[in-house]
Amino acid sequence: MTAVHTPPAPAPSRLRARRVGLVLALAVLLAAAVLASLAIGAREIPLPEVWSAILGPTGTENDIVVRSLRAPRTLLGVAVGVALGMAGALMQGHTRNPLAEPGLLGVSAGAAFLVVLGIYAFGVTSLQGYVWFAFAGAFGASVLVFLLGSVSRDGATPVTLALAGVAVSALLGALTSAMVLLDSQTLDQYRFWAVGSLAGRDADVAAQVAPFLVAGVLLALLNAPGLNLLSLGEDVARGLGVHLTATRWTGLAAITLLTGAATAACGPIAFVGLVVPHICRALTGPDHRWLVPASGLAGAVLLLAADVVGRVVVRPGELQVGIVLALVGAPFFVLLVRRRRLVSL
């Protein structure tokens, strides 16, 4: 038999240098994406005037555009991108499924269901109202999924959580469709939220979800070391002193807070949580202490870049960021499936 030679693992110092370099590169890319988001749109604003609007506004029209319209949108894009990237890394780590993304726990379906219920039954018409219904739905759906996935003798496992998530998402999706079809006015309002967009979101929306995003980021970083041990196998993790239930609950809380707040603010935005962790994992390795924050930075870069592209391609109109990301993410998803044997997932 021919011996199979595996490439040697990089030295620890070299691996650490590569990880630090990746984080610094992502920080630079994020700064560039922020500047592009502030400068590019239906109205082009030169970078010197962007700096002037930020540091020393004089009340010009460009100052108003930057500070009142583009700055809140850009900050929300950074926050939502960080949230979805980190949630995707946690989701794939907890389920040990390379095709998992934050919506697998029913978070997006729960948010959509309560948004439609709020429109249909309570007459909610504002984004500020959608936020609370969406967040409540995301939290309720994720808790239901975890409870259903925990009823087996072995408790919550990656397989039972994934199956429960698919079942809950299908049920809530059917109920959402039923309400939308019963009332055309509900459909008209819901479709603008469901497409996934940063447009029209002001500072009030960002302020409402900010506490949940901050709490989710802190829990995600806290969960990363335990997730590293959990990836070695449940028996090994338990032998090393990991409390499996506490680790999974912490991860569930982080995923729910991050995805729920992001979905509530901007609607369901797909593929960020699927694409970004794979790109970062190829560079950082499987260590979640680096993978989770790197995925957050990369998610912010990807979301802002997609938003800028959406403003340019159909100028003076705008293509919603959810549509742009679907055009990018769908081919990536197909390539990912083709490269892996489905029986090994």
pLDDT in tens, 13-48: 788 888 999 999 999 999 999 999 999 988 899 999
Greatest pairwise CA separation for the chain in angstroms: 76
Q: Across residues 307-319, what is the average pLDDT?
A: 87
Using 50, 70 and 90 to split pLDDT, how confident is the model at 4? very low
Instruction: State the distance between the two ends of the chain, measured CA to CA, in whole angstroms.
Output: 28
- Give 123-148 pLDDT, tens digit per residue: 887 777 778 888 889 888 988 988 88
> Is the pLDDT assigned to residue 325 strictly greater than 80?
yes
Q: What is the pLDDT of residues 92-113, one digit of tens each?
A: 888 877 777 877 778 888 988 9
pLDDT band for position 3 (cuts 50, 70, 90): very low
Residue 213 near residue 79 (C-beta atoms within 8 A): yes
Domains contained in the chain, CATH given: 97-268 (1.10.3470.10)
The percentage of the chain sitting over the pLDDT mark of 70, rounded to a whole number, equals 93
- Whether residue 6 is predicted with pLDDT greater than 70 in this model: the reply is no
Give percent of the chain with pLDDT exceeding 90.
32
Decide if 85 contacts 277 (C-beta within 8 A): yes
243: phi > 0 → left, psi -120 to 50 → alpha, else beta; which?
beta
Q: Which H helix or E strand runs over 152?
A: none
**pLDDT (0 to 100) of residue 154:** 67
Q: What is the pTM of this model?
A: 0.87
Does the N-terminal peptide bond of residue 316 adopt cis geometry, omega within 30 degrees of 0? yes
How far out from the chain centre does Cα 306 lie?
A: 14
